[in-house]
Structure 1
Amino acid sequence: MPDKPNAFATVEQLESGWHPLLDGERSRAAVLLERATRMIKAQCPRWAQAENHNPGICADVCCAMVMRAMQTGDTDIPDGVKQMSQTTGAFSDSYTFDNPLGNLYLRDEERRVLHAGAGGRAFTISYEREAQ
């Protein structure tokens, strides 16, 4: 599935900041990148101003959202698990899931970044000194 031009990021950009994806993952990633783009536009109406102020920030946030949703880890911790505890004697396991349903969402700090470059000034005061 080719990337659509309306997504902030491409599958290749996602891969370059994360890891190579399998064919099935690439298709899912393309769909999620489009969805993440729509969410950013809906939840952060001044996204274009932030992008003008800090080019590439929308792609960065979009990729971060998709990585969280896809949750493929390179560790011994199962996918989607934020914290894991194991006990050998009596065989006890404990898992805390970070994003068990693989939802797309914006973190508070990502919202702040998308609003930061959007001209948050309410007004500017300028004055001239009179000649003495």
Structure 2
Amino acid sequence: MEKPEPFPFATVDELKERWPDLPPGAEDHATVLLKDASQFILDVCPEAAQADPASRLRVACAVVRRSMTVPDHLAGLSSGQETTGGVSRSWTPSNPHGDFYLTKTERRSLGAGRSRAFSVQIAGFRSSPEHRPWCSLAFGATYCSCGADIAGEPIYER
């Protein structure tokens, strides 16, 4: 599959416009993550190739921001608890490893999950079968008596 243009879907400057608190000195890391996030989006949501470029840009920036906002001291932490006297505090980060993921709304904005009508031909029927000359249809009936309508060729009245 050919990658849509532009690829990656966002630049570091566009990420900074949406996330002014991008950590200083993280531009090189963000550049790599934007490339990875753009490919990730195409891998899990192939419909994104036809999505509006502005939607791809917004989603790529959101994916990278979620990935980069994991504090180092929480990396790998699935839960935590502190107790001091009668006061306790607990936490469970939702994305401790900074993995990429798409929210339901992001998938929808990229075109995934939209229903489309389609049909499937399950047998090699001809579009207009040949009926027997004595088929009921030849005499003005609204039904076929030779079976060509169900089998593609006459199967009764041979």
TM range (shorter): 0.5 to 0.7
Q: Which has the higher contact order (CA 8 A, sep 6+)?
A: 1
Q: How many residues align?
A: 110
Deviation at 1:86, TM superposition (A): 7.7
Runs of at least 5 residues in structure 1 that lack an aligned partner in the other structure: 124-132
Q: Distance in 2 between matches of 1:43 and 1:33?
A: 15
- Determine the C-alpha separation between the residues in 2 that align with 1:103 and 1:24: 21
Name the counterpart of 2:9. Answer: 8
Report percent identity of matched pairs. 42
Change (3 A) 1:94 1:119: closer
The 2-side partners of 1:101 and 1:44 are apart by 22
C-alpha deviations, 1:62-97, integer Å up to 9, x for none?
000001001168xxxx8789xx99876434221120
TM-score by length of 2: 0.56
Write the distance in 2 (CA, Å) between the matches of 1:72 and 1:16: 20
Shift of 1:119: 7.5
Runs (5+) with no aligned partner, structure 2? 1-5, 119-158
- State the alpha-carbon separation in 2 of the partners of residues 96 and 72 from structure 1: 12
Which string of whole-angstrom CA distances, capped at 9 and with x for unpartnered residues, describes residues 41-75 of structure 1? 11111213222xxx4000000000001001168xx
Equivalences for 1:53-132 in 2 at 5 Å?
A: 55-71=53-69, 89-115=85-111, 120-122=115-117
Question: Which one has a bigger Cα radius of gyration?
Answer: 2
TM-score, L = length of structure 1: 0.66
Whether the aligned pair in 2 keeps the contact of 1:71 and 1:79 (CA below 8 Å) is no
